[in-house]
Amino acid sequence: MKLNKDQIQQVEDYLNQKGLKYIDVRYEVLDHICSDVEEIMNAKKLSFVEASSLVYLKWNLNLQNHSSFLLGLAYSGPKLFINRCVSILKKTIYRIQFIIIAVLFISYHILKNIGFREYNYKEEIIYSLYGLATINLIFIFYWFFKIKKTKLQTSYSYLFIRQVLPTVLIFLLLAILYDFDRNAIINTRSYYIISVFAFSMWSGNQLHKNHMKSVSKYSSFSKS
């Protein structure tokens, strides 16, 4: 027995109550719940109300309010959604760390052997830092406004806003507080700046692209 539109809407109302508004997770869960309800209705000859109540009991644990240290304890949501975001973020961190390590290694050996101590490089560093900050600002806000324009939310847009958008401010602060002593070009703060820039640009691009793919895949469901 297939669920009718009213019954599907009741399942959607249940997901609304649980705060599951992120479409890439919402419609996967909606499909699973509807399939489970249909299966129980057919196998046990139960009404929709009886079958859905049994299925909701199974899903309540996965949809209870939850938070994660990795995402920030101040942010919470349905457990299944938070776990998905943690999984995405971990994959992003694992991938970007190799890029950051490679960039830092190359930067260290190039800058170490150029002989900056014999040259007044302060002005060039300022221009470079502000140039990177401008590039970072332009791309991050361009991706942000494209995400907002879709008027839909996904796990990827959630992570973009919570994890990537703040890196613009972090990068600017690191650039402003940069120490221009003679060893500044290869000090620890230099590597923080490079790391933040690499994480911001790479993860921002990936999260933006995956959000747009999810919107393209699920937008027809949200309009139905």
Domain boundaries, the chain: 5-63, 88-223
In 3D space, the residue among 191, 196, 132 whose CA is nearest the CA of residue 165 turns out to be 196
Percentage of the chain beyond pLDDT 90 is 49
Q: 196 and 178 in contact (C-beta within 8 Å)?
A: no
- Residue-wise pLDDT for 106-117, tens only, equals 766 666 665 544
Listing DSSP states for 171-210 in one string gives HHHHHHT---STTGGGSHHHHHHHHHHHHHHHHHHHHHHH
Cα separation, 5 vs 92, in Å, equals 38
Q: 35 and 27 in contact (C-beta within 8 Å)?
A: no
Q: 110 and 190 in contact (C-beta within 8 Å)?
A: no
Percentage of the chain beyond pLDDT 70 is 79
21: helix, coil or strand?
A: coil
**Would you state the structure tokens that stand for residue 151, as one six-digit string?**
């008027």
Cα separation, 160 vs 207, in Å, equals 6
The band of 118, judged by pLDDT with boundaries at 50, 70 and 90, is very low
- Residue-wise pLDDT for 124-156, tens only, equals 666 777 788 889 899 999 999 999 999 999 999
